[in-house]
Amino acid sequence: MAYVLVTGGAGYIGSHACKALKAAGYTPVTFDNLVTGWRDAVKFGPFEQGDLLDRVRLDSVFAQYEPIAVMHFAALSLVGECMLDPGLYWRNNVAGSLNLIEAAVAAGCLNFVFSSTCATYGDQDNVVLDEDSAQMPINAYGASKRAIEDMLHNFETAHGLRHVIFRYFNVAGADPDGEVGEFHRPETHLVPLMLDAIDGKRDALTIFGTDYDTPDGTCIRDYVHVCDLVEAHVLGLKWLSDERGSRVFNLGTGTGFSVREVVDQSHAVTNRPVPCHEGPRRPGDCTKLVSGSTRAMAELGWNPHRSTMKQMITDAWRWHQSGHYEA
| Site map (CB under 6 A) of ligand UPG, residues 68-87, x = contact | ---------x----------
The listed partner (ligand UPG, ligand NAD, none) that binds 291, CB under 5 to 8 Å by sort, is none
**How many other C-beta atoms lie within 10 A of the C-beta of residue 6?**
32
How far apart CA 172 and CA 178 sit, in angstroms, is 14
- The residues, any chain, with a CB within 8 Å of residue 42's CB and separated by 6 or more, are 9, 10, 15, 18, 30, 32
Residue 96 touches which member of ligand UPG, ligand NAD, none, C-beta under 5-8 Å by kind? ligand NAD
Mapping DSSP onto H, E and C, the string for 78-146 reads CHHHHHHCHHHHHHHHHHHHHHHHHHHHHCCCCEEEEEEEHHHHCCCCCCCECCCCCCCCCCHHHHHHH
Q: Is 293 helix (H, G, I), strand (E, B) or coil?
A: coil
CB of 89 to ligand UPG, least distance (A): 12
236 binds ligand NAD (CB under 6 A): no
Q: What is the CA radius of gyration of the chain?
A: 19
Instruction: Classify residue 81 by burial, with Cβ atoms within 10 Å: 0-12, 13-18, 19+.
Output: middle
147 binds ligand UPG (CB under 6 A): no
How far is Cα 271 from Cα 198, in angstroms, rounded to an integer? 10
**Catalytic choice (141, 168, 223, 325):** 141
Sole window of 4-12, 13-21, 53-61, 187-195 interacting with ligand UPG (rule: CB under 6 A): 187-195
Q: Does residue 311 belong to the site contacting ligand UPG (CB under 6 A)?
A: no
- Distance, in Å, from the CA atom of 249 to the CA atom of 297, rounded to the nearest integer, reads 9
By beta-carbon proximity to ligand NAD, the closer residue of 14 and 67 is 14
Residue 282 binds to ligand UPG (criterion: CB under 6 A): yes
Which residues, 78 to 117, sit near ligand NAD by CB under 6 A? Answer: 92, 96, 115, 117
Applying CB under 6 A, which of residues 58, 100, 118, 198 lies at the interface with ligand UPG? 118
Candidates 33, 120, 250, 314; binder of ligand NAD (CB under 6 A) is: 33
- Report phi then psi at 240, rounded to 5: -70, -40
Residue with Cβ nearer ligand NAD (86 or 217): 86
285 binds ligand UPG (CB under 6 A): yes
The reply on whether position 269 binds ligand NAD by CB under 6 A is: no
Is 117 near ligand UPG (CB under 6 A)? yes
Please identify, using beta-carbon distances, which residue of 51 and 131 lies nearer to ligand NAD: 51
Selected range binding ligand NAD among 9-17, 20-28, 59-67, 191-199, rule: CB under 6 A: 9-17
β-strand pairing of 220-221 with 257-258: antiparallel
Of 16, 17, 13, 57, nearest to 33 by C-alpha is 57
75 binds ligand NAD (CB under 6 A): yes
Say which residues have a Cβ less than 8 Å from residue 23's Cβ, sequence separation at least 6.
none
Q: Which of ligand UPG, ligand NAD, none does residue 34 bind to, with CB < 5 to 8 Å depending on kind?
A: ligand NAD
Q: Clarify whether 141 is annotated catalytic.
A: yes
Q: Report the residue from 208, 292, 295, 318 that binds ligand UPG according to the rule CB under 6 A.
A: 208
Give residue 181's identity as a one-letter amino acid code.
Answer: G
Which whole-number Å values give the CA distances from 225 to 48, 90, 120, 156, in the listed order?
Answer: 27, 28, 20, 30
- Which of 115, 294, 307 has its CA nearest to residue 226? 307
Residues that bind ligand NAD (CB under 6 A): 7-8, 10-14, 32-37, 51-53, 73-77, 92, 96, 115, 117, 168, 170-171, 184
Q: Which residues bind ligand UPG (CB under 6 A)?
A: 77, 117-119, 169-170, 188-190, 193, 205-208, 219, 221, 259, 282, 285, 289
| Residue positions annotated with a catalytic role | 141
